């Protein structure tokens, strides 16, 4: 079911972007990538904030939070880029056809990778995912997105571990989170440093399933 959903998303997003044209695809690609990075970084703080303020604590809260941040970020970025590029650039027919075709596939694949990443937080059956990040299925779109976000958190979009204006007791402050030995010398907050994201959410889905089964006994 998950595979069919991802295939549908790929075809739907790719087709929609293709009809938008080369210039529209170029702007959309930028927005999708950056909105995905923002959502991947901020969904957990948002979910924790909602739990603290509303008292609502349920499994799908993280899934809702990540998509809420994504759509909000994408909408803002799309609005800004539209205002900055009020005149649509025109290309000759060959460049337009090749450009929109390549970029629409690229956008669709990025969206599929991000979607597969978010499905780990959805209340779905554990059989839909392989729990071992080092398995032969480690080239899946979810792994690709996790690796991409992790690499960016070490590189151009890195953030210092300890910022002076943040509360030192914050759960998002290192060294409250265990770092991988390879990242120990980096003064940055590495996303999923120990590559435990898949295992962590696999365990959460298992606990949810056991809890639901226990309620019927």
State residue 196's pLDDT score.
74
pTM of the model: 0.79
Tens digit of each residue's pLDDT (9 = 90 or more) over 30-77? 999 999 999 988 888 888 888 888 776 666 788 899 999 999 999 999
**CB-based contact 66:39 (threshold 8 Å):** yes
**CB-based contact 127:205 (threshold 8 Å):** no
State residue 96's pLDDT score.
92
State residue 128's pLDDT score.
54
**CB-based contact 83:57 (threshold 8 Å):** no
Distance, C-alpha 139 to centroid of its chain: 16
State residue 215's pLDDT score.
38
What's the chain's average pLDDT? Answer: 77
9-15's contacts with Cβ under 8 Å and 24+ in sequence apart are: 9/108, 9/111, 9/112, 9/115, 10/108, 10/109, 10/111, 10/112, 11/108, 13/104, 13/107, 13/108, 13/111, 13/112, 14/104, 14/105, 14/107, 14/108, 15/104
Tens digit of each residue's pLDDT (9 = 90 or more) over 141-197? 888 888 888 877 766 665 655 554 444 444 444 444 565 545 555 656 667 666 678
Residue spans of the domains in the chain: they are: 2-215
Tens digit of each residue's pLDDT (9 = 90 or more) over 6-43? 899 999 999 999 999 999 999 999 999 999 999 988 88
Tens digit of each residue's pLDDT (9 = 90 or more) over 113-144? 999 989 888 876 655 555 555 554 445 888 88
């Amino acid at each position: 079911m998950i595979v069919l959903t991802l295939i549908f998303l790929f075809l739907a997003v790719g087709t929609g972007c293709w009809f938008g044209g080369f210039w529209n695809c170029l702007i959309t690609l930028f927005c999708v990538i950056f909105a995905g990075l923002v959502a991947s970084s901020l969904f957990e703080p948002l979910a924790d904030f909602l739990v603290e303020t509303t008292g609502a604590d349920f499994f799908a809260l993280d899934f809702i939070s990540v998509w809420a941040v994504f759509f909000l970020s994408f909408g803002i970025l799309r609005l800004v880029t539209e205002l900055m590029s009020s005149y649509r650039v025109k290309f000759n027919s060959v460049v337009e056809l090749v450009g929109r075709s390549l970029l629409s596939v690229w956008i669709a694949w990025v969206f599929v990778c991000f979607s597969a990443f978010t499905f780990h937080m959805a209340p779905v059956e554990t059989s839909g995912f392989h729990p071992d990040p080092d398995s032969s299925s480690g080239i899946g779109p979810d792994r690709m997105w996790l690796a991409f976000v992790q690499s960016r958190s070490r590189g151009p979009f890195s953030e210092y571990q300890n910022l002076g204006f943040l509360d030192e007791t914050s759960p998002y402050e290192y060294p409250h989170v265990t770092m991988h030995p390879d990242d120990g010398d980096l003064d940055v907050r590495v996303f999923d440093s120990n590559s435990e994201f898949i295992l962590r959410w696999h365990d959460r889905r298992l606990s949810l399933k056991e809890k639901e089964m226990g309620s019927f006994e």
